[in-house]
Structure 1
Amino acid sequence: MPTTRTASPTTTDAPLSPRRRQLLDAGLHVVADEGLRGLTHRAVDRRAGLPQGSCSAYLRTRKALVSALTEYVAGTLAADVDALAVDLQQCDGAAERAIELTLRLFQRWVDERELLLAKLELSLEASRDPDLAALLAAWRARLVDVVDGIMAARDTEHSTERAEALVSSFDGILFAALLKPARGRAAFLARSLELLMRSLAGPGDA
């Protein structure tokens, strides 16, 4: 199992106890390996190496478990995006550096594929569950704001609609990369991101 992240765990930035974090990290890996149907309290306990009943002591119902996991995944992604935004602001419009930093993050997400797979599973479930959709919408709005802010800082033509289109493109690139053979993923990400980030930088910065 990959090392547990230390990023902000929830969309509300509330701190997690070590045990709760352990359970949610185990839940993330269960969903990545078995899909959302495989997410049960017992499966989480087994994956975490904890006694049966540990997960239900913290998250009594399956809905509570799924909701907490959605917050955990969205919060981890949001913290990564916030960190990237800080780094991008220091690029001073240098497109090559912006591509390099974004590629580094996306490559890590693809290498640690459990996070992206869990997000995909939860996103599908959110299409049928308004409560989950609201949790994921909060993270997506945060990412759209970051992208829009970067374009504004560079005096690039920007709008919420354009930022949303770019975010959707990022999503598509990431999931397409997961379907590529492992040896071709880095090259695919680099080519795709260069095209998008050139557009983000604007013609004057390309």
Structure 2
Amino acid sequence: MASDRRTLLADAALDVLADEGIRGLTHRAVDRRAALPPGTTSAYFRTRAALLTGLVTRLVQRDQAELHMMAEALAPLRSVEELMDAMVVLTRQRLTGEGRRRSLARYACAVESVRDPELRAILVPRENAGREAVRLFLAERGVPDVDDRTHILLTCIDGLVFDGLVSGGEVPREALEGLIAAALRQSTGRTSGQVAHPR
């Protein structure tokens, strides 16, 4: 089926991007990675822009599926420590193995999207079960501006993942503790009692 072939090629393009960077992403490189005859990729994605769009669309699909599976595997978050543990698992997944490769591709695409409104629209953070679990956790603790807090928390964690990717390190647990404490801080400047001893 055409849709299966497009998915195969988009996955191969993700691998090429992760291994060779944006300059190495060509139709021929994707053909080789997918072990398909020369010209196959260009038959499905006529231009480089079309190839990038297909790649980014597939990347978002895989990210969304990962976050949905994580949320399903977790019981409703009941404590700061449970939220912390979930964030530790997420950051480790994105810095090791297949998750690391997808992170490399994701950040390369993010840079490209600065000059490409179509890519930027695809990469806009979407609602998913993982994001909703965090939003609900914050809302149940009465924090103000819960949508903004959720966005800022997850964006900051994404920044820590980027730093870990560049430096080759991990995301320190204490850094996550600080971000979660800040997200739960009330507008008076005092922190919720549940955050006083997050570990």
Q: Which TM bucket (shorter chain)?
A: 0.7 to 0.9
Q: Which residue of 1 aligns with 2:105?
A: 118
Q: Which residue of 2 aligns with 1:198?
A: 181
Distance 2:160 2:17 in 1: 21
Bigger Rg, structure 1 or 2: 2
Structure 1 residue 109: deviation in Å? 1.1
Q: Contact (CA 8 Å) 2:16, 2:24: kept in 1 or not?
A: yes
Structure 2 residue runs of 5 or longer lacking an equivalent are 186-191
Q: Contact (CA 8 Å) 1:88, 1:98: kept in 2 or not?
A: no
Q: Which residue of the other structure, out of 163, 170, 182, is the alignment partner of 2:150?
A: 163
Q: Which residue of the other structure, out of 92, 97, 112, is the alignment partner of 1:107?
A: 92
Deviations 1:152-197, CA, capped at 9 Å, x for gaps: 244333333322221220121001111234xx42xx3423222223
**Identity percentage of aligned residues:** 36
Structure 1 residue runs of 5 or longer lacking an equivalent are 1-15
Q: Contact (CA 8 Å) 2:80, 2:194: kept in 1 or not?
A: yes
Deviations 1:17-42, CA, capped at 9 Å, x for gaps: 44332211111111112222221111
* Aligned length in residues: 184
Distance 1:28 1:114, change over 3 A: same
TM-score computed with the length of structure 1 as normaliser = 0.77
Q: Contact (CA 8 Å) 2:16, 2:30: kept in 1 or not?
A: yes
Distance 1:129 1:73 in 2: 16
Q: Which residue of 1 aligns with 2:50?
A: 64
Distance 1:163 1:90 in 2: 16
Q: Does 52-61 or 62-71 show the bigger shift?
A: 52-61
Distance 1:83 1:195 in 2: 26
Q: Which residue of 2 aligns with 1:19?
A: 5
Structure 1 residue 68: deviation in Å? 0.9
Distance 1:87 1:199, change over 3 A: farther
Confirm or deny that 1:31 pairs with 2:14: no
Q: Contact (CA 8 Å) 1:106, 1:174: kept in 2 or not?
A: yes
Q: Contact (CA 8 Å) 2:27, 2:48: kept in 1 or not?
A: yes
Q: Contact (CA 8 Å) 2:149, 2:183: kept in 1 or not?
A: no
Structure 1 residue 204: deviation in Å? 3.2
